[in-house]
Amino acid sequence: MEFVTLTNKVKMPMEGFGVFQVRDKEECRRSVLDAIRTGYRLIDTAASYTNEDAVGEAVRDAIAEGICTREELFITSKMWVQDMENYETAKRAIDASLEKSGLEYLDLYLLHQAMKDYFSAWRAMEDAYREGKLKAIGVSNFYPHVLTNFCETVKIRPMVNQVELHPYYTQEKALETMAYYDVVPEAWAPLGGGRYKPFENEMLKEIAATHGKTIGQVILRWNVQRGVVVIPKSTHKERIEENFDIWDFTLSKEEMERISSLDMGYVGTAVKHFDPEFVRMCNGRKIHD
Ligand SMILES: NC(=O)c1ccc[n+]([C@@H]2O[C@H](COP(=O)([O-])OP(=O)(O)OC[C@H]3O[C@@H](n4cnc5c(N)ncnc54)[C@H](OP(=O)(O)O)[C@@H]3O)[C@@H](O)[C@H]2O)c1
């Protein structure tokens, strides 16, 4: 496992485990525990995934089993749009995430979307960071122009930006903006999120065969080799293990370029950030009363 150092000197693992759409609590707890047993130390949840409690439970189980200490884990959660109404609602959301997970602090907390009053929400995150409730703070789905304006405005700059990043959406320009502001890029849907059919791609098959690896391992490796943190999700133990086994091979410059050539640019198959209908949907989605 490799680590990246955030601007505040916190060390973040380059690979983690995502739990989006793992709604069944027991399945989530078991998958996270399988991931920690495998060696993952970063877990990525969100208030809107409604499984922060199951993640917290798995963390306590892992510590009780003696697999790792709390300090070795890196738990991420995210504030949902509903709570980005103002400073007070945001402050309550941070406390709610801590309470639901049963953790004294979170290693990273992200604004899930650049929606509603995200500047006021950020001020609440800055304060929680100063109080030690959040060890690092960042954003998600902040496209380059939004991230630039944000970094030029806020007191504490985001340490991480979690965005869609995989061979079919390489976002090279977005990575340049993040590098300019020392914001660490983190890939959601690093395996394509069940879209794009990477596992049927002949060129990826060929590169995987060269290294005696699977396509999943190759595309995860491609992202970490370009400095991007990956958080693949799976509820299958074999895949959880497979996805973690990416630290013993290196892709050549030519292989990296061939994989990048799959880029299709923005197609918005999963999340349509530029579509007003999607923004209205996020604004309307309630995760609590
Ligand atoms: N910030 C955001 O807005 C945002 C948005 C989306 C996701 N995320 C985060 O990013 C994480 C990852 O993204 P994601 O879950 O959308 O997509 P992903 O990790 O790219 O792909 C997950 C899908 O691939 C399958 N899979 C996993 N490993 C595989 C393998 N080795 N071979 C073949 N198929 C495999 C999984 O199925 P099985 O589970 O059945 O194995 C699942 O259907 C999420 O869990 C979440 O934490 C954040």
Q: Which atom of ligand 1 is nearest to the CA of 78?
A: 1
289: in domain: no
Phi first, then psi: what are they for 84, rounded to 5°?
Answer: -100, 30
Tell whether ligand 1 has an atom less than 6 A from the beta carbon of residue 138.
no
* 162: Cα within 13 Å, side-chain hemisphere: 27
Predicted pLDDT of residue 267: 87
The rounded radius of gyration (Å) of the Cα atoms in the chain is 18
pTM for the predicted model, two decimal places? 0.98
Q: 233 in ligand 1 pocket by Cβ < 6 Å?
A: yes
Residue 21 lies in a domain: yes
CATH assignment of the domain containing 213: 3.20.20.100
Mean pLDDT of all residues in the chain? Answer: 97
- Strand runs (DSSP E) across the chain, as ranges? 3-5, 11-13, 16-18, 42-44, 74-79, 108-111, 137-140, 160-164, 184-188, 229-230
**82 within a domain of the structure (yes/no):** yes
8 A C-beta contact, residue 215 and residue 205: yes
Compute, in angstroms, the gap from residue 228 CA to the centroid of ligand 1.
16
% pLDDT > 70, the chain:
100
Is any atom of ligand 1 closer than 6 Å to the C-beta of 34?
no
> How many domains are contained in the chain?
1
- Position 192 in a domain: yes
Which domain range does residue 224 map to? 3-284
Residue type, 147: L
**pLDDT for res 272:** 86
Predicted confidence at residue 184, as pLDDT, reads: 98
Sequence-distant (6+) residues with CB within 8 A of 244 are 15, 35, 38, 39, 40
**85-118 core/surface letters (b: 16 or more CB in 10 A; e: else):** eebebbbebbebbbebbebeebbbbbbbbbbbeb
Q: Does residue 187 form part of some domain?
A: yes
pLDDT band of residue 177 (cuts 50, 70, 90) is very high
Crossing angle (nearest 10°) for helices 237-244 and 215-225: 40
